[in-house]
Chain A
Amino acid sequence: MATSWFRFSSPSTFYPLAGALVRGFGVAAAVLAAIGLWLGFAVAPSDVQQGEVYRIIFIHVPAAWMSMFLYVVMAFWGAMALGLNTRLSAMMAQAIAPTGALMTFIALWTGALWGRPTWGTYWAWDARMTSELILLFLFFGVIALRQAIDDERRADRACALLSLVGAVNVPIIYFSVRWWNTLHQGATVKLTGSSMEATMLTGMLVMTLAFWCYAIAVTLTRARAIVLERERGAAWVQLAAARA
């Protein structure tokens, strides 16, 4: 008998599935982070120009990639909520926003601390940094908009619309180094290859996987909490709470 994955679009079936996945992704995140940090600090050599400070790359780039990816995923779930009118899609979008904001903050913070010793400044209003800051404001805006609307379904629709409108910022961030003269360097990792040294690239990619697994674990845990909060009156929720 074929299994329909659509049965997991119901909060009552999604909840236990998410619970089963959280621990695995959490463990994977910890293991991958340990490997990535070992590669980044013990294996990868010093940079000829930047010395040791370039090692901030092992959290800055993964956080930046995750900030853009999480926004796109949040906008995707918002589109699903608008198009299919599914509660769980809106709950997923709601669960992603805080983690996306955190990744964006980490990208900006680590970028500033990397920029000071290398560029001589913590901040510059260049295209990439400014558009990444706008991404942070967009995440804050989605979170604040949800808090401002009492009716949950109206809040879902409003946040979905804001997410979709703001999605135009993601390609702006990505292509900004190509479209404008920026302080920020151009892409060194492309689909056609990379100009980075192999151990540096491997460490960065492993850390990206670690951040990805962490984001999944945290987002699924938050989604489980949101499901319980929003489905509080349902019999299955009381049963799940009593069993916990």
Chain B
Amino acid sequence: MNHWHFILGAYGVTLIAIVIEAIAVRMRHRAALAQSDPDRTR
């Protein structure tokens, strides 16, 4: 009993979720930096 599609589904969704979170949190930090920069042109 191998069921590789279940294994791929588990690992695939996990990887996608982790990558999305990592990218989102970096983007949030960069946005916060940009908002706080006194030299930022509006």
Residues of A within 8 A of B35 (CB): 228-229, 232, 241
> In the bound complex, do residue B21 and residue A237 qualify as a contact, i.e. CB atoms below 8 Å apart?
no
Q: Tell me the count of chain B residues lying within 8 A, CB to CB, of chain A.
A: 28
Given contacts A114-B6, A214-B18, A228-B29, contact A51 B11 (CB under 8 A): no
Q: Mark A91-124, 1 if CB is under 8 A from B, else 0.
A: 0000000110010011001100110110000000
The number of A-B residue pairs with CB atoms under 8 Å apart is: 92
Contact of B14 (CB < 8 Å), options: A110, A114, A226: A110
Given contacts A51-B1, A63-B14, contact A56 B7 (CB under 8 A): yes
Q: How far is the CA of A21 from the CA of B24 in the complex (A)?
A: 19
Q: Mark B1-38, 1 if CB is under 8 A from A, else 0.
A: 11110110111011001100110011011011111111
Residues of A within 8 A of B11 (CB): 56, 59
Residues facing B in A54-82 (CB within 8 A) are: 55-56, 59-60, 63
Given contacts A113-B6, A225-B28, A225-B29, contact A53 B14 (CB under 8 A): no
Contact of A102 (CB < 8 Å), options: B2, B17, B33, B36: B17
Residues of B within 8 A of A56 (CB): 6-7, 10-11
Residues facing B in A208-244 (CB within 8 A) are: 214, 218, 221-222, 224-226, 228-229, 232, 237-238, 240-242, 244
Instruction: Say yes or no: is A194 at the interface (Cβ < 8 Å to chain B).
Output: no
Instruction: Say yes or no: is A152 at the interface (Cβ < 8 Å to chain B).
Output: no
CB distance from A234 to the nearest CB of B (A): 9
Q: How far is the CA of A232 from the CA of B31 in the complex (A)?
A: 12
> In the bound complex, do residue A117 and residue B10 qualify as a contact, i.e. CB atoms below 8 Å apart?
no
Binding site secondary structure of chain B: helix
CB distance from B12 to the nearest CB of A (A): 10
Residues on A lying within 8 angstroms of B by beta carbon are: 50-53, 55-56, 59-60, 63, 98-99, 102, 105-106, 109-110, 113-114, 116-117, 214, 218, 221-222, 224-226, 228-229, 232, 237-238, 240-242, 244
Q: List 18 A-B contacts (CB under 8 A).
A: A53-B3, A102-B18, A109-B10, A110-B10, A214-B18, A221-B25, A222-B25, A225-B25, A225-B31, A228-B29, A228-B32, A228-B36, A229-B32, A232-B35, A232-B36, A238-B37, A238-B38, A241-B33
